[in-house]
Amino acid sequence: MTSDTRPLSLNVPEPGCRPGNTPDFSGFEIPRAGAVPRPPVDVDPDAIRDMAFSIVRVLNKDGEAVGDWAGALSTEELHEGLRHMLLLRTFDARMLNAQRQGKTSFYMQHLGEEAVSCAFSRALEPGDMNFPTYRQAGLLIASGYPMVTMMNQIYSNAEDPLHGRQLPIMYSSKEHGFFTISGNLGTQFVQSVGWAMASAISGDTRIAAGWIGDGSTAENDFHAAMVFASTYTAPVVLNIVNNQWAISTFQGIARGGVGTFAARGHGFGIASVRVDGNDYLAVHAVAKWACERARRGHGPTLIEHVTYRAGGHSTSDDPSAYRSRREAAAWPLGDPVERLKKHLIAIGEWSEERHAQAEAEVLDTVRTAQKEAEAIGTLSAGKVPSPRDMFEGVYETMPPHLIRQRQEAGF
Amino acid sequence: MARMTMIEAIREAHDAAMAADERVVVFGEDVGFFGGVFRCTAGLQEKYGKSRCFDAPINESGIVGTAIGMAAYGLKPVIEIQFADYVYPAYDQIVSEAARLRHRSNADFTCPLVIRMPTGGGIFGGQTHSQSPEALFTHVSGLKVVMPSNPRDAKGLLLASIADPDPVIFFEPKRLYNGPFDGHHDQPVESWKSHPLGEVPDGDDIVPLGKAAIRREGAEVTVLAYGTMVFVAEAAAEETGVDAEVIDLRSLMPLDLEAIVGSVQKTGRCVIVHEATRTSGFGAELMALVQEHCFYHLEAPVIRVTGWDTPYPHAQEWEYFPGPGRVGEALKKVMED
């Protein structure tokens, strides 16, 4: 050791705000709505490098839609979008409560992130395939997947399409472009690239959308997905939902805050964009742009949806143990439902009265679905899947050893 | 019918499958233009184009992960991991995804996928070019595991694996690529071209998964083997004069339990041989099955001859590799018990 060498020390990033502290997002740079121009879909990724460091926003603080990215949705579509987000939020609240009542073992809500999956879904076409994580149920709700079926899955009852094999919320629906959810993080990101490669190999026109959270970008499969997507110019939209938190771990532990998550696309030559994840119009506009890019053969796009996980990580998590209770309220991009509501009111297409009525209707819809699902059964009562079924579907044809084990188990 | 090496047979299987079904795509590291480091995919890119056979980045998890996405789309990927020793980065994708896709989605999505990988030692491959990790896959519900020992089976089993609706781990003993090997490393190597098992039918004749083959009929002891150990066991039987029945399992999952039980109940004795390390190796499963199904027929304890519970060494190749000497000792011992 030379005389001027001091002992090294390990850098462990810390969030700005722990329980008891006052949230401070003053260092979080938010460009004004409409500031980022909309490039053509065949743009060279190198020409839009700045977009990975800015944020595409459409709705301004007065609820007006401004800039190049505005105007992609009709009033009817906006009404529908608001309804989808309300449905998802209400569904979440009811299922959270059902878990507390012991009707199911587990649930994960989307509070504050409703715009991301609900708005993205609208940019896809039938036949496209999402490779979601456990926090994009808006893709199902916005594509018209029956809410009762979602609840049947959560309750693991006799009508659960997955026959009680899967943990609650790990939905699967090929028909609705929703790939089977896995508990293993990041795995589906690279699978989405493979699905997109298959579409290209087959001369198809369908595209894939991969999904990953900020924390899981640290998984090796994030890197694998990026290199394969770029190498083969796969028709895929790679979505990072940056909700600032991975359970108790703030995004800095996945090395967020150094550059941006979107900027990671630059090293791979992937068009990379950051979007206001709480702005329904912006998420939809960017999704539509990226999907068109992919569908026209211009290659992959990486989208970082900047949002905030307002709820606990799951029903097994208490966020007040690691972050301030006031942080969600202080989040500078606000609430996606409130912002779309404000926009609809600003353009004269909505009112507080209509909103209250819509909330009541949505609650009624969700309650009705819940009654229907619970009439079939819940984890603790009613009709359950056959134990015989756990031996099915391991292989297409049950091999002899599984037949023997099923008999041994008495089914 | 033509005489060919195992490499040529594997190449032929790819060719036949790709010609028959345009959903079959082949990729992996160095698999495309170059035709593979062992030549198993030579000429395929030229014949079928770059969208059917192509080179992949050096990322095993990416290779398997993208293949799973392709299989879910409806293609039939046949992918290569350059050495079985390098499959570990893809283990998550294989175990958590490929194996579980059908079950967890209630067949909403399936994974008709073949993962080929050269395996086994006896080539001075050292620690990372000699491993036999089959037990890491037979333990995983939802996977099929196959290992041919000769060109005829290599082609037929690979075609069956490609046709199979479930993910198949296809191990290729690289020591057997060019010719049979009985462990006598000091003797000249024979080519498959002069061996009867080098006779490979034209076209797309399959060898069914889940069916073992009796390589040497015998009355005194049953030897359960697969891959290179089939030839080692045959040599040991000839050299010791023990009338062993050598069974080449071919498929480890599904396993031909009927063939095993039938033979052990006939002979009353059993020796299990594999290159892989002993503890929790596939031999332990075989031993348990023989004990469960043949207990009252057994005249002696079942013996395992395996690789030692050490990483695969370089200089000590022939002290590690379970050769005909060690297998022969086991045959004599099981007859004395």
Q: Which residue has the tokens 């024979």?
A: B190
Kindly give the interhelix angle for A75-100 and A336-346, rounded to the nearest 10 degrees. 150
List pLDDT tens digits, range A270-307: 999 999 999 999 999 999 999 999 999 999 999 999 99
| Tens-digit pLDDT profile for residues A319-378 | 999 999 999 999 999 999 999 999 999 999 999 999 999 999 999 999 999 999 999 999
CA distance B333 to B331: 5
Please answer yes or no on whether B165 and A224 come within 8 Å at the CB atom. Answer: no
Instruction: State how far residue A181 is from chain B, nearest Cα, in angstroms.
Output: 8
Mean pLDDT across chain B, nearest whole number?
A: 98
Q: Between residues B189 and A173, which one has the greater pLDDT?
A: A173
Residues of B in contact with A129 (CB under 8 A): 72-73
- Is the minimum CB–CB distance between A190 and chain B shorter than 8 Å? yes
Q: What is the pLDDT of residue B1?
A: 84
Residue that has been written with the tokens 């076409």 in this structure:
A125
Q: What is the pLDDT of residue B337?
A: 80
Size of interface A-B (CB pairs under 8 A): 141
Q: Is A403 on the interface with B (CB under 8 A)?
A: no
Tell me the pLDDT tens digit for each residue of A47-84.
Answer: 999 999 999 999 999 999 999 999 999 999 999 999 99
What number of other Cβ atoms are within 10 A of residue A291's Cβ? 22
How confident is the model over A198-220, as pLDDT tens digits?
A: 999 999 999 999 999 999 999 99
Which pLDDT does position B230 carry in this prediction?
98
Mean pLDDT of B30-39: 98
Does B96 touch chain A if contact means CB atoms closer than 8 Å?
Answer: yes
ipTM of the complex: 0.97
Give, as one character, the DSSP assignment of residue A56: B
Distance CA A170, CA A154 (A): 8
**E strands, A129-205, in order:** 129-131
Element (H, E) at A76: helix A75-100
Distances, alpha carbon B38 to alpha carbons A108, B34, B50, B129, in Å: 48, 10, 19, 13
Determine whether the interchain pair B102/A399 forms a contact, defined as Cβ–Cβ distance below 8 Å. Answer: no
pLDDT of residue A312: 96
Pick from B48, B136, B158: which is nearest to B91 by CA? B136
Whether A1 shows a pLDDT value over 60: the answer reads no
> What are the pLDDT digits (tens) for B270-297?
999 999 999 999 999 999 999 999 999 9
Q: Does residue A275 sit in helix, strand or coil? A: strand
- What span, in angstroms and rounded, lies between the C-alpha atoms of A25 and B134? 53
The pLDDT value given to residue A362: 98
- Interval A86-98: pLDDT, tens: 999 999 999 999 9
pLDDT average, residue stretch A141-145: 98
Q: Is the pLDDT of residue A2 over 80?
A: no
pLDDT digits (tens, 9 = 90+) for A187-199: 999 999 999 999 9
Say if CB B110 and CB B165 are below 8 A apart: yes
Cβ contacts of A211 within 8 Å, gap of 6 or more: A130, A131, A132, A133, A136, A188, A189, A192, A239, A241
pLDDT at B49 over 60: yes
Report the pLDDT value the prediction gives residue B281, as an integer from 0 to 100: 98
Residue A303 confidence (pLDDT): 98
Give residue-wise pLDDT tens across range B225-269: 999 999 999 999 999 999 999 999 999 999 999 999 999 999 999
pLDDT, chain A, mean: 97
- Catalogue the active-site residues of B: 129
Stretch B77-102: mean pLDDT: 98
- Contacts of residue A203, Cβ cutoff 8 Å, sequence gap at least 6: none
CA distance A252 to A11: 11
Find the angle CA(A113)-CA(A116)-CA(A122) to the nearest 5 degrees: 145
User: Can you list the positions of beta strands (E) in chain B?
Assistant: 2-3, 24-28, 53-55, 76-80, 114-119, 144-146, 168-173, 199-200, 213-216, 221-225, 244-248, 251-253, 270-277, 303-307
Q: Are A84 and A77 in contact (CB under 8 A)?
A: no
Q: What's the pLDDT at B31?
A: 98
Q: How close A399 gets to chain B, by Cα (Å)?
A: 7
Least Cα separation, residue B63 to chain A (angstroms) = 8
- Using the predicted structure, report yes or no on whether residue A3 has a pLDDT greater than 80: no
Average the pLDDT over A174-181 and give the result: 98
Interface test with A, best of B53, B101, B104, B164 (most A CBs within 10 A): B104
From A161, A184, A197, residue closest to B96, measured CB to CB: A184
List own/partner pairs for A362-371 with CB under 8 A and 24 or more apart: A362/A83, A362/A86, A362/A87, A362/A90, A363/A90, A365/A87, A365/A147, A366/A87, A366/A90, A366/A91, A366/A94, A366/A147, A367/A94, A369/A146, A369/A147, A369/A148, A369/A151, A370/A94, A370/A98, A370/A151
Q: Which two tokens stand for residue B263?
A: 């033979």
3-state secondary structure B282-301: HHHHHHHHHHHHHHHHCCCC
